[in-house]
Amino acid sequence: MLPRSTHLQVPIGQHVYLKLTITGTEIVKPYTPVSDSLLSEFKDPVLPNNKYIYFLTKIYPAGLFTPQLDRLQIGDFVSVSNPEGNFKISQFQELEDLFLLAAGTGFTPMVKVLNYALNNIPSLRKAKLMFFNKTEDDIIWRSQLEKLAYKDKRFDVEFVLSAPTSEWNGKTGYISSGLLSEFLKRSSDKSKVLICICGPMPFTEQGIRLLHDLNFSKDEIHSFTG
């Protein structure tokens, strides 16, 4: 919760930096605020009196920053920067096909993008998420994603695991031209497309190379990097 009389509206696709002092050293990490739920309506403009910022964080027990973040109590303070990022809402204009490629916590910028597109873009025909993780237990908000796909027939999600159990019946492996060429089907030959990608830097760089090989233009691709 933000301090009294404080308002911070973080635009879609932008991130903030959280700062903690750990053993006398200031540590700063980027985080992308998310909606409180994938199943709630996301209307624009966001009311400026919203005093809450929501984050999805993965706690790494051996890490330096996230364990300290996890130990914060109500009443503790964290420094939050002004928003940063180069995503423009104009990229949604007359959008018909939205494709999201996320690996691990690279899912977080997709939350607001997906919520906004489904609730505010009349021209949108379909939105698809390909979500790469190591195991089933690593899939963030799996239940909400599956419920959203059931609720809104324009949305579909595909999970891809790199280290699945023998019981897994879904897709496996890593980002590849084979997976992408099957996934990135336009609703029509000339439909307006936006492809958003986020994850570890090797994932993002490889994904962009593959998208260019599949003849998607620079204007049709947005990579989130923080």
Tens-place pLDDT, residues 72-125: 998 888 899 999 999 999 999 999 999 999 999 999 999 999 999 999 999 999
Q: Which residues are annotated as a binding site?
A: 30-31, 56, 58, 108
CATH 3.40.50.80 for domain 89-223, yes or no, is yes
Residues in Cβ contact with 108 at an 8 Å cutoff, skipping those fewer than 6 apart: 31, 32, 34, 55, 56, 198
Lowest mean pLDDT among 41-55, 68-82, 146-160: 41-55
Beta strand 54-55 pairing with 33-34: antiparallel
Q: Which residues are annotated as a binding site for FAD?
A: 30-31, 56, 58, 108
In the chain, where the domains are located: 16-80, 89-223
Is the model's pLDDT at 1 over the cut of 60? Answer: no
Q: Which two tokens stand for residue 52?
A: 């809450």
Is the model's pLDDT at 42 over the cut of 70? Answer: no
Supply φ then ψ for residue 129, to 5 degrees.
-120, 125
